[in-house]
Chain A
């Protein structure tokens, strides 16, 4: 009982801190941008919803902020869920090539003229490809595959999808091919509108609901698959729902923001360090952390002086990849606890 109340108290503390930071970053995201509004103009626009400032904040910066929060949340949660399912802190959809595959799906319908940039076909195709890539990966590598096998297979899937995406865009009659390729493979929240939010939000919400409902099963899986089954966990259902939800979340995110990596890897890692290793307890906090990280990265790309805005996916990869290497080193270099 005592231990439980301590963890509950710590959970509350961490969630409150995350919410405060989220509020601060969201506000910063609304007040910072290339329009060069002064702080007082921005605040006036934000609170009185009028004038050019109001227009910029509500039409340009708000959708961008909301998208970054939604996408970050679902990526953070997906990472926590995959790590719980595979019982390995190195698992993440982006490591398995799912975002690149989703980008290929979106690009395939967009550049073949099958659908417009704001059509429902875009997220649907992205989700279908994300699903396909995850299925293919687990089918090829086997249900009981070592995560390292999944990583290598994921690398191949990701590279293949990335190459196919860039070739497809280059072949289309498109004067902005290079920029577009970079957008799909690196991800960005530039020039997003409320239409994009409407396109992605329902799938992201559904994905998060499905993943959050698996908490007890993820926790039982800490004892291994056989023991979890003996405790009444429907392992096949948990696997299928998790993969489906991750594909929905990643696909919908990619359809509106391109492929953004490492959020799903970093968020649960951070929560495991500061909160607990309980796979159920870190689900919500990982979503909040993912939202915080991605919103923060999206503010950062607007502050870094550059000719054209740095893609947010490039920044998350720049910060996330070393973190990943660190995690790999921790898992292998020092050996895991027997």
Chain B
């Protein structure tokens, strides 16, 4: 029972249902990719799971226990969230920002224990940012900043990492680096739910893909069963195919479907 289960989850903005009803099980120790076109409800799902958005109805269970039953801080210790908005207003040092990840443990800069320092050190090491630990976050490039925020999420010690487009706006090398870091975290026992727009990246790194379309799940499972020619055409309007290769799958886009394909 170490998984995250959605039971008839429905999320609405006012009257308009934007997600669900959705049933899904996220197994632990996997890299789950949430894929789908804009407005499919991917970010909405992550924002609910991280406590930002309330749900309309349904149930989410984490490790068998209803998510509503967790206190704010308990939940924050289990689920870390890398938001789409990568806001860093004040010029704090990289290390100070990573230390903010210890907030759920009641820790602040002034009260950090050796446990906190160790968690921060490990997060900084895992994201390979130790060279800039004393720099100000406002002076970093987009890729560097994304890694600092990833380190911040890791420092919480949460086993569930929820990331909303962590590679958006990064160059290909940085995208690959961040995804490889996530894969590494999964090997170390964490579970990752990541929203990706780049299907090639998703095919390359995902253990499971949840394909969402207009708030509903189209498919959920291993890459080859989800990203089929049929689903790529139906959901994304792409004429594309997948071929297995050494480190995952290779996605080839041959063209787009005619504009009236639906």
Listed in ascending order, the chain A residues whose CB lies under 8 Å from chain B are 1-4, 87-88, 215-216, 219-220, 222-224, 226-227, 229-234, 277-281, 337
* Contact segment of B92-100, B179-187, B219-227, B233-241: B92-100
Q: A224 with B87: in contact, given A3-B95, A4-B109, A234-B72 (CB under 8 Å)?
A: yes
- Whether the pair B47, A277 counts as a contact (CB closer than 8 A) is no
Determine if B117 is an interface residue (Cβ-Cβ < 8 Å). yes
CB-based contact A224/B95 at 8 Å: no
Task: Determine if B117 and A1 form an interchain contact, defined as CB atoms under 8 angstroms apart.
Answer: yes
Partner of B93, one of A1, A3, A88, A223: A3
Return B235 CB to nearest CB of chain A, in Å: 27
A223-B152, A230-B51 given; name 20 further pairs at CB < 8 Å. A2-B134, A87-B90, A88-B89, A216-B103, A219-B103, A219-B108, A222-B89, A222-B92, A224-B86, A224-B87, A227-B83, A230-B52, A230-B83, A231-B100, A232-B73, A232-B76, A232-B104, A277-B91, A278-B92, A337-B138
* Nearest-neighbor residue (CB-CB) of B136 within chain A: A277
User: Contact at A222–B81, with CB atoms within 8 Å?
Assistant: no
Smallest CB separation, B161 vs chain A (Å):
11
Q: Which 8 A-B pairs have the closest CB atoms?
A: A224-B87, A230-B81, A232-B76, A277-B90, A230-B50, A232-B72, A232-B73, A226-B83
Q: Are A231's CB and B101's CB within 8 A? A: yes
Q: Tell me how far the C-beta of A80 lies from the nearest C-beta in chain B, rounded to whole angstroms.
A: 12
B79 an interface residue at 8 Å Cβ cutoff?
Answer: yes
Query: Is B75 close to A, CB under 8 A?
Result: yes
* C-alpha spacing A87/B95, complex, angstroms: 20
Q: Which residues of B contact A230 (CB under 8 A)?
A: 50-52, 76, 79-81, 83
What residues of A have a CB within 8 angstroms of the CB of B92 in the complex? Answer: 222, 277-278
Q: Which residues of B contact A222 (CB under 8 A)?
A: 87-90, 92, 97, 100
Q: Does B85 contact A (CB under 8 A)?
A: yes
CA distance A87 to B52 in the complex (A): 18
- Specify which of B75, B85, B133 is in contact with A232 (CB 8 Å cutoff): B75
Residues of the A chain whose Cβ atoms lie less than 8 Å from the Cβ of B5 = none
Nearest chain A residue, comparing its CB with the CB of B96? A278
* Distance A88 CA – B90 CA, assembled complex (angstroms): 9
Q: How far is the CA of A226 from the CA of B81 in the complex (A)?
A: 9
Interface residue from A87, A220, A277, A337 paired with B100 (Cβ < 8 Å): A220
Give A213 Cβ to nearest chain B Cβ, in Å.
12
CB distance from B48 to the nearest CB of A (A): 11
B159 interface hit (Cβ, 8 Å): no
Q: Does B156 contact A (CB under 8 A)?
A: yes
Give, as a whole number of angstroms, the nearest-CB distance from B143 to chain A. 13
Of B51, B90, B97, B101, most buried by chain A (CB within 10 Å of CB) is B90
Query: CA A218 – CA B234 in complex, angstroms?
Result: 45
Residues of A within 8 A of B81 (CB): 226-227, 230
**In B38-79, which residues have CB < 8 Å from any A CB?**
47, 50-52, 72-73, 75-76, 79
Residues of A within 8 A of B47 (CB): 226
In the assembled complex, the CB of A217 is this many whole angstroms from the nearest CB of chain B, namely 9
Q: List 29 A-B contacts (CB under 8 A).
A: A2-B134, A3-B96, A3-B133, A3-B134, A4-B112, A215-B108, A219-B100, A219-B108, A219-B109, A222-B92, A222-B100, A223-B83, A223-B87, A224-B87, A226-B50, A226-B81, A226-B83, A227-B87, A230-B50, A231-B100, A231-B104, A232-B104, A233-B103, A234-B72, A278-B92, A278-B96, A281-B109, A337-B91, A337-B139
Contact present for B83 and A224 (CB under 8 Å): yes
What 1/0 flags go to B113-156 for Cβ under 8 Å of A? 00001000000000000000110001100000000010010001
**Chain B: which residue is nearest A87 at the CB level?**
B89
Complex contact A224–B85 (CB within 8 A): yes
Closest A-chain residue to B156, C-beta based?
A231
Cβ contact within 8 Å between A226 and B52: yes
